[in-house]
Amino acid sequence: MQELKINGIYKHFKGDYYIVEDVAIHSETKEKYVVYRGLYGNSELYIRPYDMFLSEVDHEKYPNVQQKYRFELQDIKSVKE
């Protein structure tokens, strides 16, 4: 499984981009959730179970998807390097 990077930009296998803002812990179940924001439209804030965020794409359900993981970290270079 891949590692999560806070403030990392991730591409969803369906094409949109998101920034990971933090990891939250459910107060009763102690389950970890990824808190992330869409980098499109009105920049809505989302949560998803940690393991699901980092999981592989179900290639039986989506056989034409080339991306291995549901969300993949993008290597975005600065123009000011």
Q: List Cα–Cα distances, 14 to 11, 21, 25, in angstroms.
A: 8, 20, 27
CATH number, span 9-73: 2.30.30.320
Q: Do the beta carbons of residue 32 and residue 19 sit within 8 Å?
A: no
Q: How far apart are CA 61 and CA 69, in angstroms?
A: 14
Please indicate whether residue 2 or residue 75 has the higher confidence score (pLDDT): 75
pTM check: above 0.75:
yes
The average pLDDT across 67-75 equals 96
Nearest Cα to Cα of residue 8 among 17, 23, 24, 19? 19
pLDDT higher than 80, residue 45: yes
The amino acid that residue 53 corresponds to is F
Q: What are the extents of the domains in the chain?
A: 9-73
pLDDT higher than 80, residue 1: no
